[in-house]
Amino acid sequence: MHLGLILGDQLTHDLASLRVLDPKVDRLIMAEVRDEATYVKHHKQKIALLFSAMRHFAQELRDAGWQVDYYEYNSQGNFKSLFDVVKHYTNEYSAERLVLTQCGEYRLQNAMDREWSKSLNIPVDVYGDDRFIATTKEFADWADGRKQLRMEYFYREMRRKTGYLMKDDNPEGGQWNYDADNRKKWDGKTPFPNPPMFERDDIDREVIELVEKNFADHPGSLDEFHWATTRSQASTALGFFIQHCLSNFGDFQDAMVRGEKALFHSLLSPYLNCGLLTAKQVCDAAQRAWDEDRAPLNAVEGFIRQIIGWREYVRGIYWLHMPRYAKQNTLKNKRSLPRYYWDGDTKMACMADCFKNTFDHAYAHHIQRLMVTGNFALLTGIKPEEICDWYLAVYADAYDWVELPNTLGMVMHADGGYLGSKPYAASGNYIHKMSDYCSQCHYSVKTQVEEDSCPFNSLYWHFIDRHREDFKNNHRMGMIYRTLDKMKDDKKDRIIARADDLLSRLDEL
């Protein structure tokens, strides 16, 4: 008999490994283990969501006729790692081989490739994860020979491959990308939908108690744990998004509003990443909304682009360049992560709101991650490794394959501009333009060098100034350097001095 290992982010019935196993003779194992739950200090909601979704999925598999051995956290045997569990069951059943679908994370796949087969003394068969639109080989072929990659060109390939928003060989509406129409500040009128809050069942309650007890020192709170933990709840979440949010998703995609968790964002990433939903299912639903005239093109295109474009693109980069990718630090950052990334306590209103969303919900929407907490880490020169570990820990959707390129590449520009052509550095002005944060902040977004001036304002110019050598040949940065060069010396000196002062006492801001 063969043994199939189903990982916590592989909760999909049509998984490649399940297709080659036979429920009549083979067995499946799933396991909650300390190594996976603590390789970073995952947010309590991330662990609860995953353990509960794993337990519900095991039940679905049994209902479908599979024999599943499910190892609950800290139960008999006290196994610490997936390997310990697998070894136990391969011995117990004298399994002839272990079968699995490729891991999402290099860390685990590499350990399997190097040690598992040898130590288990049986073959380990790994099948490609075909829940993604592109295979890793397809991406590598596309990237081959290109010095710099651009998401836009890869995305067009994926549009052609899937047929989403295509009319014969042309994009719907005549344009591939409607990003320019997706940058409105919230109009103060369009009401925010209330995302569904799912009722908790016995499995949820048991897991929540387990997490409270065993992971008390992990970040975040379980008080508002509303994530879907079953496939059917995740489908409800998808239906809700398509019906109530998608039509406004495009216009307000980059907007931020104090106290508003998600605006018109989908909140679907945790389900996509653990397998309760698939990319195809989600994009099919968006395409249907377009076909039936239920949402405008800038919204549907913007949404589909995030999934078949960005999501696939970052995964391709990850597998093409790991493990080297994780070690890059092109801007030579040395600073440690300020205290408030862990306790949320800062006078900067924008940062405080993003941290609150993060700790209360294990969620922040893209612009909060990119242009607030990420931008601040970029401007202040935080070590990529520390900020990457933070993003990997605090979000319910965080897995290395998607978090790392987004943080190290998109936010920190630590890959030398391989993933994105220009750093997403911005002063307080951008945050002011896209949100209502600044009107209620201790700091003033209008000034640069006063005692209460917005920290982003001087830190922005400090970043631009100190990285002149890194960016002087980047034509997309030309205007910025011309503005800096036109600045009067004494003004520039005062801005740099203000930023130096802030950098010397970051924890106090």
Contact residues toward ligand SF4 (CB under 6 A) are 348-350, 428, 431-432, 437-438, 441, 443, 445, 454-456
What is the nearest approach in angstroms of ligand FAD to the Cβ of residue 254? Answer: 10
What is the nearest approach in angstroms of ligand FAD to the Cβ of residue 240? Answer: 12
Could you say which residues in the range 276-295 bind ligand DLZ, by CB under 6 A?
none
Contacts of 109 (CB under 8 A, 6+ apart): 102, 103, 126
DSSP string for residues in 229-247: -SHHHHHHHHHHIIIIIHH
Task: Determine if 158 is a binding residue for ligand FAD (CB under 6 A).
Answer: no
Euclidean distance between CA atoms 73 and 51, whole angstroms? 9
**Binding characters for ligand DLZ, 382-411, by CB under 6 A (x = yes):** -----------------x------------
Euclidean distance between CA atoms 305 and 182, whole angstroms? 12
Q: Which does 36 bind (CB under 5 to 8 A by kind): ligand FAD, ligand DLZ, ligand SF4, none?
A: ligand DLZ
Task: Determine if 269 is a binding residue for ligand FAD (CB under 6 A).
Answer: yes
Task: Determine if 105 is a binding residue for ligand DLZ (CB under 6 A).
Answer: yes
What is the nearest approach in angstroms of ligand DLZ to the Cβ of residue 44? Answer: 10
Euclidean distance between CA atoms 382 and 102, whole angstroms? 32
Cα distances (Å, whole numbers) of residue 488 to 274, 324, 450, 477, 484: 53, 42, 17, 20, 9
Q: Which does 398 bind (CB under 5 to 8 A by kind): ligand DLZ, ligand SF4, ligand FAD, none?
A: ligand FAD
Beta bridge mates, 3: 27, 98
Minimum CB distance to ligand FAD smaller for 306 or for 458 = 306
Place of tokens 């977004």: 445
Nearest Cα residue to 430 out of 417, 445, 415 = 445
* Under 8 Å between Cβ of 368 and 354: yes
Q: Is 450 left (phi over 0), alpha (psi -120 to 50) or beta?
A: beta
Task: Determine if 104 is a binding residue for ligand DLZ (CB under 6 A).
Answer: yes
Euclidean distance between CA atoms 212 and 216, whole angstroms? 5
Q: Radius of gyration (Cα) for the chain, nearest Å? A: 23
Task: Determine if 42 is a binding residue for ligand DLZ (CB under 6 A).
Answer: yes
Size of the site for ligand DLZ (CB under 6 A): 17
What is the nearest approach in angstroms of ligand SF4 to the Cβ of residue 90? Answer: 54
Stretch that binds ligand FAD, among 30-38, 39-47, 90-98, 361-369 (CB under 6 A): 361-369
Euclidean distance between CA atoms 365 and 186, whole angstroms? 14
3-class state of residue 93 by DSSP: helix
Task: Determine if 495 is a binding residue for ligand FAD (CB under 6 A).
Answer: no
Task: Determine if 267 is a binding residue for ligand FAD (CB under 6 A).
Answer: yes
Minimum CB distance to ligand DLZ smaller for 30 or for 438 = 30
Residue 168: count of CB within 10 angstroms of its CB: 5
Euclidean distance between CA atoms 233 and 239, whole angstroms? 10
Task: Determine if 266 is a binding residue for ligand FAD (CB under 6 A).
Answer: yes
Q: Which does 103 bind (CB under 5 to 8 A by kind): ligand DLZ, ligand SF4, ligand FAD, none?
A: ligand DLZ
Q: Which does 204 bind (CB under 5 to 8 A by kind): ligand FAD, ligand DLZ, ligand SF4, none?
A: none
**Binding characters for ligand FAD, 297-316, by CB under 6 A (x = yes):** ------x--xx--xx--x--
3-class state of residue 326 by DSSP: helix
Task: Determine if 365 is a binding residue for ligand FAD (CB under 6 A).
Answer: yes
Cβ density class 96-127: b for 16+ within 10 Å, e for less: ebbbbbbbbbbebbebbeeebbeebebebebe
Q: Which does 40 bind (CB under 5 to 8 A by kind): ligand SF4, ligand FAD, ligand DLZ, none?
A: none
What is the nearest approach in angstroms of ligand SF4 to the Cβ of residue 176? Answer: 32
Minimum CB distance to ligand FAD smaller for 342 or for 481 = 342
Angle, CA of 57, 62 and 63, to the nearest 5°: 95
Hey, what are 265's tokens? 């964002």
Size of the site for ligand FAD (CB under 6 A): 30
The footprint of ligand DLZ (CB under 6 A) covers 7-9, 31-33, 36-37, 42, 47, 50, 82, 103-105, 108, 399
The footprint of ligand FAD (CB under 6 A) covers 262, 265-269, 272-273, 303, 306-307, 310-311, 314, 365-366, 369-370, 374, 391, 395, 397-399, 402-403, 406-407, 410-411
